Amino acid sequence: MADKQELPYEGRAELRQRLSKPMLDSFELWLKNTYPKVLKRSLMGKAIAYAYSLLPRMKPYLHDGRIFIDNNRCENALRPLVISRKNMLFCGNHEAAENTAIICSLLGSCKERGVNPREWLNDVISKLPYYLAPKSDRDLKELLPDVWRK
């Protein structure tokens, strides 16, 4: 619904407060009321305890429009890496593999945000020495794809 309406983050949060919060509150109440009625070691008891333990992690979704209810975007972004996983075995060492993962993550972020990866990389590489210079008060977060685009 929010995607079709192309709502900004604030609008998504308002929509979630109106539509999703009552459902999540109702679900939480059901968990609290049902748990004492089932055996704690039964499959249902374990499922309810598990769901209840995850509620605090679900609540930020209601207040922050930037958070998505699922991780489909992350999984889709990781799919190319999973496909080339065997090639990654030959990065040389652990540090090189970690650096490769960071670059792939940043380039995936570019793709996700509609930023041209080549333009972003050229610009960031040219600016990086100034950001890393001693006594520089510049924040590296300014170079992340979502901030850089603005």
- pLDDT at site 126: 94
Mean pLDDT of 76-103: 80
Is-contact 63 14, C-beta < 8 A? no
Higher pLDDT, 35 or 101: 35
This prediction has a pTM of: 0.56
- pLDDT at site 119: 96
- pLDDT at site 150: 63
- pLDDT at site 52: 97
Mean pLDDT of the chain: 89
Q: What is the pLDDT of residues 30-84, one digit of tens each?
A: 999 999 999 999 999 999 999 999 999 999 999 999 998 888 888 887 787 777 7
